[in-house]
A and B are shown apart, each in its own frame.
Chain A
Amino acid sequence: MELYTITEEGLAAAMTALMADYKVVAPVEKGPSHVFDEITDWSLARPLAVGTTLPPKKTVFPQREVLLKFRAEGGGFEAEEVIDDTPTVMAGVHPCDIAGLRCIDHTFGGRYYDRNYGARRRSTIVLGFDCMPDDYCFCASVGALSAEKGYDLFLTSTRPGGYVMRIGTKRGEELLARYFTAASSGGVYEESAIEDFELRKRDAMKAAIDVPVEHLPAIYQASMDSQVWRKWGDLCLSCGSCNLVCPTCYCFDVQDRVSLNGAEGTRSRVWDGCMLFDFATVAGGHNFRPTPWQRLLHRHNRKFNYQYDRYGEPHCTGCGRCGRACLVRINMVTIANELAAERRGEVA
């Protein structure tokens, strides 16, 4: 693997140069936490901050995104697509969120390719940064401790004031040559420094799922009648916070807005959440998941069973955000471990 090193100052110079050509998004301080926001001053960036309130998916899949605009025309309507492909650099994306973007790619790709998402995703450069876990992180349990792909460049802070850089794509290689002019070539020492960082990261991880992640689909499939869902579902407030902060949740509602004179308007998608009461209600009022425990079962199965089965990788990346956000302390790890304990000996 070809490795490079860069100092904090060299990185700042590169990011400042990038800002001339790209919209740059990175974690910044906000209240007690951090949020991904557009910046024009790299000194405000906190690329190592763990647990931004919302994951960086909002850059490629915004909370409200105009899909179409339309206007009244000859007794009918003329509609046209709205495609946003603003060249963007997203810096400070941690391995869990890189995995999260890959999960969302599965949904928006496939037989029906989503151009609105795809244009923004392709025009967004991912600068990954490695991080150290807090009490909620459990990426090591779901195979997302480190990222092998899904980034253009990836930086590991192997020593104070310095990073080791890896190249993930051809685009990353071009960026390195053009903007990261202060980078120098690394070697065997840098390779072992990354290994050392990842070992320290693994050691620092407090939260853990007790069984290999590959066992979870079978455990969850066998646990549809488990009282664990009732127990935690009875506490759930159906607030949808876990949906909003999740790096792999992608469900959306579609809403129209019209100008006051009715002559023109937009059709947007807006984040929705499967934990909200009305999520599965059809016209006429029948709700297919009327109770919190049914919705909890559905959401957690989407992470460790349904989407895992459909796309071949867990759709929980161990970022810990839903655990941090939950008002009644419902936690993916607790539930996984309770289900695994119930099925011990039954499921390989």
Chain B
Amino acid sequence: MAAAVAQSLYLPESARILSVEHPTELEKVYKIAFDSGRPLGHGPGQFAQVSVFGIGEAPISISSSPNTREHFEMTVRRVGMLTGILHGMEPGASLGVRGPFGTTFPIDEMRDHDVLMVAGGIGLPPLRSLILPVMEDRGSFGKVTIMLGCKTPKEILFSADLAAWAGVPNTTVLTTVDRADETWTGNVGVVTTLFQKVELDPRNTYVAIVGPPVMYKFVIMELLTRSVPGERIFMSLERRMKCGVGKCGHCQINQVCVCLDGPVFRYSEARKLTEAI
């Protein structure tokens, strides 16, 4: 075994909520900073373990840019006990945070290429940690396309960001909803219907996908039909996690631990895992 390290893997660092926004019925967006002032230092696509002592801990993706050092953002959907407690927290409240953990979208490899980023629903927050640094260094990338599919218009997160990105030259933002309401004048249909609206250069495009399990199958089918090589398709997988550091066994898919070997996987590797998609 490796040499002893200074502290338990499970000991969170103390952090505080700086601000809370409530953009949709189920989601809140938190700006958080460590009490020590150290930056989280995450890469695009990584996650951290968030603790509320007495309740527990959960893996939550990071939705801010890696270039923003003074704080980080997390978008939390209220789905269980811990996220329910988080939703009751105000600015100034204390949290425990461990991380960042996991693999990243290879933003350096993506430079000088076209980039297609596809999000389904709550997949947008983790993907935003890639979209933001791409947009912050916009000149280094070719054509940028962002696709977002949500169930209803009310579930669309970061709409101000989407509008701002849509205004950047050589950048396309396409959104669609499964079910429109009276306010919606945009696309209706699943996210794959948006592919009819774009030209993809399969020899020069990197793809990043974050969404629910069912979305991967259909988006990847669409990409492979258009001859995008599996080596340039990246996807983030969600699994149950307790530790974030490859110990608790929950997130294992075949030979890999999603927390260590993922959550971001290259499709050409993930396709070998029988349980991945």
Chain B, interface size category, equals 35 or more
Contact A110 B242 (CB under 8 A): no
Contact A251 B239 (CB under 8 A): no
B39 contacts partner chain A, Cβ-Cβ < 8 Å? no
- Look across to chain A and name the residue whose beta carbon is closest to the beta carbon of B13: A79
Contact B250 A108 (CB under 8 A): no
Contact A70 B8 (CB under 8 A): no
Min CB–CB distance A107 → chain B (angstroms): 6
Per a CB cutoff under 8 Å, which of A113, A253, A265 touches B1? A113
Q: Of residues B80, B83, B249, which shows the largest number of chain A Cβ atoms within 10 Å of its Cβ?
A: B249
* Bound Cα distance from A82 to B8, whole angstroms: 8
Contact A115 B83 (CB under 8 A): no
* A261-279, CB < 8 A from B: 262, 265, 267, 269, 272, 274, 279
Given contacts A68-B10, A272-B250, contact A115 B5 (CB under 8 A): yes
Interface mask (B241-267 → A, CB under 8 Å = 1, otherwise 0):
011011111101111000010000000
Per a CB cutoff under 8 Å, which of B7, B56, B213, B253 touches A115? B7
Question: Which of the 9-residue segments A23-31, A141-149, A283-291, A331-339 touches chain B?
Answer: A283-291
* B19-64, CB < 8 A from A: 35, 53-58
Contact B10 A113 (CB under 8 A): no
Contact B54 A265 (CB under 8 A): yes
Residues of B within 8 A of A251 (CB): 248-250
Residues of A within 8 A of B253 (CB): 288
Contact B239 A77 (CB under 8 A): no
Given contacts A108-B247, A283-B79, contact A306 B8 (CB under 8 A): no
- Look across to chain B and name the residue whose beta carbon is closest to the beta carbon of A306: B255
* Bound Cα distance from A209 to B242, whole angstroms: 35
* Bound Cα distance from A127 to B5, whole angstroms: 27
Interface mask (A58-79 → B, CB under 8 Å = 1, otherwise 0):
0000000001101000011101
Contact A256 B248 (CB under 8 A): no
Contact B240 A280 (CB under 8 A): yes
Main secondary structure on A side of the interface with B: mixed
B198 contacts partner chain A, Cβ-Cβ < 8 Å? no
- Look across to chain A and name the residue whose beta carbon is closest to the beta carbon of B101: A112
- Look across to chain A and name the residue whose beta carbon is closest to the beta carbon of B259: A112
Given contacts A256-B53, A286-B213, contact A112 B246 (CB under 8 A): yes
Min CB–CB distance B6 → chain A (angstroms): 8
* Bound Cα distance from A70 to B16, whole angstroms: 17
B230 contacts partner chain A, Cβ-Cβ < 8 Å? no
* Bound Cα distance from A193 to B20, whole angstroms: 73
Min CB–CB distance A61 → chain B (angstroms): 10
Given contacts A224-B274, A252-B248, contact A113 B53 (CB under 8 A): no
Contact B275 A272 (CB under 8 A): no
Residues of B within 8 A of A82 (CB): 8
A234 contacts partner chain B, Cβ-Cβ < 8 Å? no
Residues of A within 8 A of B238 (CB): 282
Q: Of residues A80, A254, A265, which shows the largest number of chain B Cβ atoms within 10 Å of its Cβ?
A: A254
Contact B252 A111 (CB under 8 A): no
- Look across to chain B and name the residue whose beta carbon is closest to the beta carbon of A308: B255
Contact B3 A113 (CB under 8 A): yes
Residues of B within 8 A of A306 (CB): 252, 254-255
Min CB–CB distance A211 → chain B (angstroms): 21
Contact B57 A281 (CB under 8 A): no
B160 contacts partner chain A, Cβ-Cβ < 8 Å? no
- Look across to chain A and name the residue whose beta carbon is closest to the beta carbon of B83: A283
Residues of A within 8 A of B164 (CB): none
* Bound Cα distance from A267 to B11, whole angstroms: 10
Residues of B within 8 A of A267 (CB): 10, 53, 57
Residues of B within 8 A of A68 (CB): 8, 10-11
B268 contacts partner chain A, Cβ-Cβ < 8 Å? no
Enumerate 19 A-B pairs (CB-CB under 8 Å) in ascending A order. Answer: A67-B8, A75-B93, A76-B16, A77-B94, A105-B1, A107-B247, A109-B2, A110-B2, A111-B260, A113-B9, A114-B247, A252-B247, A258-B54, A267-B10, A272-B248, A274-B249, A288-B239, A306-B254, A309-B255
Other contacts beyond A81-B10, A113-B5, A256-B53: 16, CB < 8 A: A67-B8, A68-B11, A75-B92, A75-B93, A79-B53, A81-B8, A81-B11, A251-B248, A253-B248, A269-B242, A269-B248, A272-B249, A279-B240, A281-B240, A282-B239, A306-B255
